[in-house]
Amino acid sequence: MACRTCLWLLGTTFFTCTVRLVVEGTEVGATQGSHPEPGVVGSNHSQAGGGHGSSISGIQIVTFKWHHVEAPYLIALWILVAGVSKMVVELNHNLTSVIPESALLIIIGWILGGIIYGADKMQTFTLTPTVFFFYLLPQVILDAGYFMPNKLFFSNMGAILVYAVIGTCWNAATVGLGLWGCWLGGAMGDIDIGLLQFLLFGSLIAAVDPVAVIAVFEEVHVNEVLFIMVFGESLLNDGVTVVLFNVFDAFVSLGGAEIDAVEIIKGIISFFVVAFGGSLVGIIFALLISLLTRCTKNIQIIEPGFIFILGYLSYLTAEMLSLSAILSIVFCGICCQKYINANMDERSVTTVRYVMKVLANGSETIIFVFLGISAIDPAVWVWNTGFILLTLLFIFVFRFIGVFLLTWILNKYRLVPLEFIDQVVMSYGGLRGAVAYGLVAMLDENKFKEKNLMVSTTLIVVYFTVMLQGITMKPLVTWLKVKRAAVTELTLAEKIQNRTFDHMLVAIEDISGQIGHNYMRDKWHNFEERWLCWFLMKPSARKSRDYIFNIFHQLNLKDAMSYVKEVRATHKVRESHDNLILQDIVPSVCLDMHEQDLTMRESEDFNAHHLLQQHLYRGRKQVLKHRYSRSHLETNRDENEVQEIFQRTMRSRLESFKSAKMGVAPAKKIQTKHQKKDKPQKVRGEGTFSPFLHVRPHSHPLIGNVSLKKHYDMMKMYGNHVFDTIPLIPVQPLPQARPPQLRGHQPPVVCIIIQSHSKAISRICLILENRLD
Amino acid sequence: MGSRASTLLREEEIEEIKKETGFSHSQITRLYSRFTSLDKGENGTLSREDFQRIPELAINPLGDRIINAFFPEGEDQVNFRGFMRTLAHFRPIEDNEKNKDPIASEPLNSRSNKLLFAFRLYDLDRDDKISRDELLQVLRMMVGVNISDEQLGSIADRTIQEADQNGDNSISFNEFIKVLEKVDVEQKMSIRFLH
């Protein structure tokens, strides 16, 4: 409670401070005129120094040098205000789960705008296009590109492109033409506007906005395919938007008479040039970044800086060449992420990730606050009921139609069709945001007589989509999902079987190479591995980049190490014993990462369904949460699961292979006898059942009589102390179990492993070796 | 031995496989190229290790079981026919197939054949019954390390209780079918093979 009141006080203090300064500043600068300068946050305080032309009567100990620091001070202050607003917004979690943050920030913007307007009698601070496009937008998009789930993105690339290009063109055309038709019909009264201007307006209002989309989808958890569709579309449609905007802008300048087929063809060509050119620029910069990070071994401390600078440069370069800047920076982020994550030191990677998020969050906050502030400006408000309402109607309706149409076509070619609810969410989630506002503010007033009307309409559209659609998105989704959900409660068998089916399907997909267009993907992978990785990655990074091994890497090596230590420590004690029962030094110290949950067992309320729900492994299809989030940096929660499954699989494979080599009959029947005998033995933690051998984790028929010392000696003999860190080799035998007779000499366990044809295991050993020096 | 020659797929074989499994010509050729890419030993058959080399299977809880399902009883190698036969279980059921001539034996991707495949995943010893132990094995594979054996045992017991009708404390194939009658097996056990 005290914290909250503190924040409120802080907030109000800053608001009053701002107002004071603004008031003072206005008084001083009142004589200098009041044209908003686009350079600095739209403030109209002139930089005229020395306004106080008074004579110096003596040495002044302290002077108030406002003009000295005016520009940076205001900027810093505004950033602070935005940050504080975000804090205020986040105070109440119940509120934020109902109303998305972006909406609340806009409301705060309104309040602030009101205060400033009240103090100044004009809107001194607005979101100017320059500031927006050069200083606020790039980091948001870079963040999007850098954290983009690449595999998902590229495997759905076709669908995303269809929505982005064709969908946006459809939206632009229909909205523009629809409005034009209604204007002809007289629904908007008398405004000085033409077909081309309508089309231009349509094209800038048609684009789905990445900033707004993220902001809303943070709260609404949708499946990853759906998310990547909307998100990818919002990023890639910039290519179309830029082209359409420039083309129609040029057309309007030329006048209607000059437009002929040549111009139209030029327009279409410019689309390809802009889009592909922009992406190419981005890719070039990605290459540059990767190359740079490859050579930065000695200056790791400034590595992160390169990413941001080069990313920003890619944006500016594309802008300079009049290509699509957003596409450029997106592809820069997408293409470089893999290589820089591999090349850079871990701490640098963490730094980059965090700074990226800070910048993106900060920018987003500022954008929304200013979107709110910019509204409180009577100078720009022109109300035309027809225009505004029709725009709202058209963008809403035509988006739905467009999405459903395109999805119907796409579903014929997609492996996994998009369902109805997905389409509804996609249509409803087509939010417009600051990019549209930025574009409309860039219009030339002389060419576009109705610019203010367009600005007002854009603002209203943005507010409508962000606030109304943002607020109602979640309830809509829940309502739809609830409607679809099965009424009956599933039985245990059904639940288990459903999960089995999921795993089966995923496995068969992997076996038959189903995911994506396999041939192209394989070719790309080969090319990438041979050439790109060699060129762009540090040699040390190249070794450990395999996905599975990364997971294995994250095995708690400390566990493995402690196992080694304990083995070494106790082997002296147990040296004299054969047939050791080492229940203390259990190899499951490596596997058994979690304590047994005793409380569960003791609780009265044993609910099998609940247990299953909690503990069943999720298949690959089950991951519901999209992996991109503006405000949360989370490591993949599935990694634990994957680790466990991987260990278990490797273990059982190793055991079955050993059994095959050793001639132990893998038939289940023999082992069940042992199994029954083993039942009374206390089992700690998990029991792993291999499909071929019923082997409890603390017994191993093969190692049998091998004493710990001998085992250890064998390992040392083979000079590979790595092996004693592999948690795959259980060591101590079971006293009751009668191990099958080992014939002749005992082939060392190590030998079997070396000879193991499962390359995976041997590679793991190599990697562990490297890690352990 | 002409192992090279045997890796090329002949037209007659494609026709036979088409008849047996229902895959289209292009699907068969595509899956054949997948088969050969998995077959590192280039001897026209796949062994278990070839499957195990697929990294995603190592992180699939049922990965090894499914690999096992490809191999007929007691054998260690599977040829392309066998490969396709197993994959055929996962073809979606098309409406027009239901009208095919009733003389021909049930297609591999019929509902009951799909269920039989799923059943065999549990029933390793092929005695047509899922015993408590077999169920426990599969459950153990699909569940995290936090569940104790007792809890898992209770879950298994409850599951068998729900399904068992003749009181033999195991699930027979018919009981299995009955338990899953409300589940949309056709959809859950089908993947669309690219044309």
Q: What is the nearest CA distance from A676 to chain B, expressed in angstroms?
A: 11
- Over residues A228-259, the pLDDT tens digits come to 888 899 998 888 888 888 888 888 887 766 66
- Terminus-to-terminus CA distance in chain A, angstroms? 53
Lowest mean pLDDT among A63-77, A511-525, A563-577: A563-577
Nearest Cα of chain B lies from the Cα of A677 at a distance, in angstroms, of 14
Residue A67 CA to residue A51 CA, distance in Å, equals 9
Reported as a pLDDT band with limits 50, 70 and 90, residue A376 is: confident
Lowest mean pLDDT of A510-524, B10-24, B170-184, name the range: A510-524
**E strands along chain B, which residues?**
45-47, 77-79, 129-130, 171-172
Portion of chain B with pLDDT greater than 90, in percent: 0
User: Vertex A124, ends A118 and A126: CA angle to 5°?
Assistant: 115
ipTM of the complex: 0.89
Residue A12: beta bridge partners? none
Which positions in chain A touch B139 (Cβ < 8 Å)? 496
Helix, strand, or coil (residue A89): helix
Q: How confident is the model at residue A328 (pLDDT cuts 50, 70, 90)?
A: very high
d(CA A576, CA A578): 7
Is the pLDDT at A264 greater than 50, yes or no? yes
> At B40, is the pLDDT very low, low, confident or very high (cuts 50, 70, 90)?
confident
Distance CA A274, CA A368 (A): 28
Return the amino acid letter for A209.
D
The C-alpha atoms of residue A96 and residue A86 are separated, in whole angstroms, by: 11
> Burial code of A348-362, b = ≥16 C-beta within 10 A, e = fewer?
bbebbbebbbebbbb
Contact B51 A649 (CB under 8 A): no
- Which residues contact residue A615 at a Cβ distance below 8 angstroms, ignoring those fewer than 6 apart? B143, B144, B146, B147
Are A772 and A671 in contact, with CB atoms under 8 Å apart? no
CA closest to B175 among chain A residues: A493
C-alpha A765/C-alpha A723 separation (Å) is: 7
The pLDDT tens digits for A550-581 are 444 444 344 455 455 555 565 544 443 433 33
pLDDT confidence of A399, banded at 50, 70, 90? very high
Q: How many angstroms away from the CA of A590 is the closest CA of chain B? A: 13
CA-based nearest residue to A124, from A70, A87, A64:
A70
B52, B141, B191 ranked by CB distance to A509: nearest: B191
Interface test with A, best of B141, B158, B175 (most A CBs within 10 A): B141
Contacts 24+ apart (CB under 8 A), A401-407: A401/A174, A402/A167, A402/A170, A402/A171, A402/A174, A402/A427, A403/A163, A403/A167, A403/A427, A403/A430, A405/A170, A406/A162, A406/A163, A406/A166, A406/A167, A406/A170
Element (H, E) at A767: helix A759-771
CB A303 within 8 A of CB A344: yes
Neighbour-count burial of A720, counting CB atoms closer than 10 A to its CB (0-12 exposed, 13-18 middle, 19+ buried): middle
Residue range A327-341: mean pLDDT, rounded: 90
pLDDT for residue A308: 92
* Higher per-residue pLDDT: A763 or A689: A763
Question: Rounded to 5 degrees, what are φ and ψ at A728?
Answer: -90, -15
A649–B59: do the CB atoms touch at under 8 Å?
A: yes
Chain A residues touching B193 at Cβ < 8 A:
512, 514
pTM here is: 0.65
Report yes or no: A383 and A227 within 8 Å, Cβ to Cβ.
no
Are A354 and A360 a contacting pair, CB within 8 Å? no
Residue B122 neighbours by CB distance under 10 Å: 20
Is the pLDDT at A265 greater than 60? The verdict is yes
Residue A343 three-state SS: helix
B56 to chain A: which residues are within 8 Å by CB? 506-507, 510
Could you tell me which residues are beta bridge partners of residue B78?
B46
Cβ <8 Å between B65 and A691: yes
For the four alpha carbons of A514, A516, A518 and A524, in that order, the dihedral sign comes to negative
Helices within A531-595 (DSSP H only): 533-536, 539-543, 547-553, 557-573, 588-591
Rounded-to-integer distance, Cα B79 and Cα B39, Å: 10
Axis-axis angle for helices A224-254, A137-146 (nearest 10):
140
Neighbours of A79 (CB within 10 A): 15
Residue A518 is predicted with a pLDDT of 59
**Token digits for A539?**
């040699």
- Which chain A residues are closer than 8 Å to B159 by Cβ? 492-493, 496
Question: What's the pLDDT at B134?
Answer: 87
Contact A616 B180 (CB under 8 A): no
